[in-house]
Amino acid sequence: MPLAVFLVVAAVAVASALGLVLKRNPIHGALFLIVNLGSIAVMYLTLHAQFLAWAQVIIYAGAIMILFVFAIMVLIPGKEETGPDPLRPVRLIAIPFGALLLVELVLMLVSRRAAPVAAVPAPGGVEAIGRLLFTDYLFPFELTSVLLLAAMIGVLALAKSRKAG
Amino acid sequence: MTATLADVGIALGRVAFVMLFVLNLGGLMTWVERKQSAIMQDRIGANRASIFGFRIMGLLHPLADAIKMLTKEEFYPARADRVLFSLAPFVSVFFALVAFASIPFGDTLRVAGREVPLQALTFNVGILYVFAMLSLGVYGVMMAGWSSANNYALLGGQRAAALMITAEVAIGASIVGVVMVYGSLNMMDIVRAQGPLLGGWLPKWGIVTQPLAFVLFLTAGIAATKRIPFDMPEGESEIIGYFVEYSGMKFGLFVMADFLETVVISGMTVSLFLGGWQIPYLEPAGFVFPWGATVALPGLAVSLLQVGAFVLKVVVMIWFLMLIRWTLPRFRYDQAMRLGWLGLFPLSIANIVLTGAALLLWGAR
């Protein structure tokens, strides 16, 4: 049963990722990305990580992607991105990097076969994540909050300066 | 894990109850909308649909609507994105329908050695689930606005996106106070924690412990349903909005989604702030009143009373939301944005700080 769920979800995830890359219409691409994020959330669910799953949906699909789609709708209403690609050389760089990732994936699969992953602890995870965040990972956690604060102040400064000028 | 036939039956029953409850309430709301607005405006309201002369106070109108909408022509605008155009209403309705699943409608039922939680999905973090489903619903509206190839529809879709982000931030921030007080993200635990009495007589409902959060949540919740006073995505009198190109049942599904979202917001408000299935002074063995009187009740009767209380509370909340909708004043787009970002959001953050300080001072849990 879990294997069947995994196979279906994995197929959806890969298909939507392909859709994101191959579709030229930016709105379609964004919608495929949302499907992809949702299928990753289902994978978290099958691993009993409910908090991670719904946090993933709320933050990525529910907040960040809404902003993305909003921006796309404002900037390119209905226009398909057709014609020659102005950034074609940049795309070629992606080929060696992609190959590198593929090699890494194969190496990982080969090395992982010997050592199985430890069993997942009790379901839920809010308590476990909270405890980890405020003990072992307190420093990176606080650093991240400073980073976010800096980004917020930066946005405010940019918005203010444009209004003045 | 061995699932017997009885387990499967119970699971199906739980899902079916929630499904039918939400769907029927949504359908009935079209009737309530007509009749309540009629009463408020001193009219009679829809009462003409009849079967063999029986009108039952216009209750047949939802049925007549459904038949009419299903038999209308399906219209596609010339330059529409057909796939997204067809998909949009279903996305809207789907997320509005499933959002109710982790809202508990009764205490855990103990029958014949089994424990049956009276909610469709028993998520450990159920509150986040409802929140996630509510936030995804807006994609249906945005897809509709974009795929219609109509500037007014696009405008409606953009307004919906902006409104949803605004409402969602306020909803999320106002829920945090409730979660802090009751110490759980599990909807069932939150409702159960609202059972004890404060000072021996006052139920510890969310509206008592978190009055500010109640007002903020309700305001943001109304905004999330996209109905008047926050109907800018639709804007009947100005842009008509995201569903301007839709006809037949697809249009009907959008209207339905708004109704279903109203049901979900009502269910959330009841569960978080109005004690959910709790009845004051009703304990597992029966009523225990603060003045000493007791009324013993069998377990099943208590459960039935609790489910009844939940349904009644949700219906009253829906009535209240209808009342607000049909008083008709509405916000302009910029006013709603200002209210959301400069009113609701800072107040929600202040509420979190206040709640934290209060919990630290009194240590009450």
Instruction: Convert the pLDDT of each residue in A19-69 to its tens digit.
Output: 988 887 888 889 999 999 999 999 888 888 888 889 889 989 888 898 888
> How many domains are there within chain B?
1
Residue B157 pLDDT level (bands cut at 50, 70, 90): confident
Q: What is the C-alpha to C-alpha distance for residues B306 and B311, in angstroms, rounded to an integer?
A: 9
Backbone angles phi and psi of B107, in degrees to 5: -70, 165
Domain assignment present for A85: no
In chain B, which residues have their Cβ closer than 8 Å to the Cβ of A58?
A: 128, 131-132, 135, 172
pLDDT at B253 > cutoff 80 = yes
Q: Which of A31, A73, A123 sits opposite B124 (nearest CB)?
A: A123
Element spanning B114, H or E: strand B114-118
**A139 and A121 in a common domain:** no
pLDDT at A83 > cutoff 80 = no
Residue B261 pLDDT level (bands cut at 50, 70, 90): very high
Q: What is the C-alpha to C-alpha distance for residues B256 and B90, in angstroms, rounded to an integer?
A: 11
Q: Which of B138, B149, B164 sits opposite A78 (nearest CB)?
A: B149
Residue B308 pLDDT level (bands cut at 50, 70, 90): very high
Residue A152 pLDDT level (bands cut at 50, 70, 90): very high
Domain assignment present for A54: yes
Top residue of A40, A66, A126 to mutate, by most chain B CBs within 10 Å, is A66
pLDDT at B235 > cutoff 90 = no
Q: How confident is the model at residue B106, as a pLDDT?
A: 85
**In contact, B146 and B156? CB cutoff 8 Å:** no
User: What residue in A sits closest to B165 (Cα-Cα)?
Assistant: A63
**A157 and A101 in a common domain:** no
| B337 in contact with A, Cβ within 8 Å | no
Instruction: Give the minimum alpha-carbon distance from A69 to chain B in angstroms, rounded to a whole number.
Output: 8
**A164 and A145 in a common domain:** yes
| A19 in contact with B, Cβ within 8 Å | no
Q: How confident is the model at residue A11, as a pLDDT?
A: 94
Question: How is residue B2 annotated by DSSP?
Answer: -
Q: What is the C-alpha to C-alpha distance for residues A60 and A63, in angstroms, rounded to an integer?
A: 6
Round the average pLDDT of chain B to a whole number and report it. Answer: 87
Q: What is the C-alpha to C-alpha distance for residues B137 and B325, in angstroms, rounded to an integer?
A: 20
Which of B33, B61, B36 lies closest to B49 in space, CA to CA? B61
Please classify residue A129 by burial: count the beta carbons closer than 10 Å to its beta carbon, then call 0-12 exposed, 13-18 middle and 19+ buried. middle
Of A58-67, B16-25, B233-242, minimum mean pLDDT range: B233-242
Domain assignment present for A154: yes
Q: How confident is the model at residue B80, as a pLDDT?
A: 83
Average pLDDT of the segment spanning B110-120: 77
Which of B276, B302, B274, B283 lies closest to B109 in space, CA to CA? B302
The percent of residues in chain B predicted with pLDDT above 70, rounded, is: 98
Instruction: Convert the pLDDT of each residue in B264-292 to its tens digit.
Output: 999 999 999 998 888 888 887 778 888 87
Q: Which of A51, A63, A123 sits opposite B168 (nearest CB)?
A: A63
pLDDT at B133 > cutoff 60 = yes
Domain assignment present for A9: yes
Instruction: Convert the pLDDT of each residue in B310-365 to its tens digit.
Output: 999 999 999 999 999 998 788 888 999 999 999 999 999 999 999 999 998 887 54
| A159 in contact with B, Cβ within 8 Å | no
Q: Check CB contact under 8 Å for A66 and B154.
A: no
pLDDT at A147 > cutoff 90 = yes
**A48 and A100 in a common domain:** yes
Q: Which of A27, A67, A126 sits opposite B165 (nearest CB)?
A: A67
Domain assignment present for A130: no
**A112 and A76 in a common domain:** yes
Q: How confident is the model at residue B298, as a pLDDT?
A: 82
Residue B137 pLDDT level (bands cut at 50, 70, 90): confident
Whether ipTM tops 0.90, in short, is no
**DSSP secondary structure of A3-29:** HHHHHHHHHHHHHHHHHHHH--SHHHH
User: What residue in B sits closest to A71 (Cα-Cα)?
Assistant: B158
**A47 and A97 in a common domain:** yes
**A10 and A59 in a common domain:** yes
Q: At what angle do helices B345-362 and B151-182 cross, to 10 degrees?
A: 10
Q: What is the C-alpha to C-alpha distance for residues B105 and B119, in angstroms, rounded to an integer?
A: 6
Q: How confident is the model at residue B267, as a pLDDT?
A: 93
Q: What is the C-alpha to C-alpha distance for residues A100 and A125, in angstroms, rounded to an integer?
A: 34
Q: Which of B161, B172, B185 sits opposite A66 (nearest CB)?
A: B161
Residue B11 pLDDT level (bands cut at 50, 70, 90): confident
**A119 and A68 in a common domain:** yes
pLDDT at B177 > cutoff 70 = yes
Q: Check CB contact under 8 Å for A77 and B143.
A: no
Q: What CATH number does the domain containing A108 carry?
A: 1.20.120.1200
Q: How confident is the model at residue B240, as a pLDDT?
A: 80
pLDDT at B1 > cutoff 60 = no
**A75 and A45 in a common domain:** yes
Top residue of B98, B130, B146, B189 to mutate, by most chain A CBs within 10 Å, is B146
Instruction: Convert the pLDDT of each residue in B62-85 to its tens digit.
Output: 888 889 989 988 888 888 888 899
What is the Rg, in whole angstroms, of the alpha carbon atoms belonging to chain A?
Answer: 20
Cβ under 8 Å to B: A residues 27-86: 27-28, 31, 34, 50-51, 54-55, 57-58, 61-63, 66-67, 69-70, 73-74, 77-78
Which of A54, A65, A89 lies closest to A16 in space, CA to CA? A65
Domain extent at residue B239: 5-362
> How many domains are there within chain A?
2
User: Structure tokens of A79?
Assistant: 């226009």
Please classify residue B286 by burial: count the beta carbons closer than 10 Å to its beta carbon, then call 0-12 exposed, 13-18 middle and 19+ buried. middle
pLDDT at A163 > cutoff 70 = no
Q: How confident is the model at residue A85, as a pLDDT?
A: 66
Domain extent at residue A33: 2-80+90-125
The percent of residues in chain A predicted with pLDDT above 70, rounded, is: 82
**A117 and A65 in a common domain:** yes
Please classify residue B15 by burial: count the beta carbons closer than 10 Å to its beta carbon, then call 0-12 exposed, 13-18 middle and 19+ buried. middle
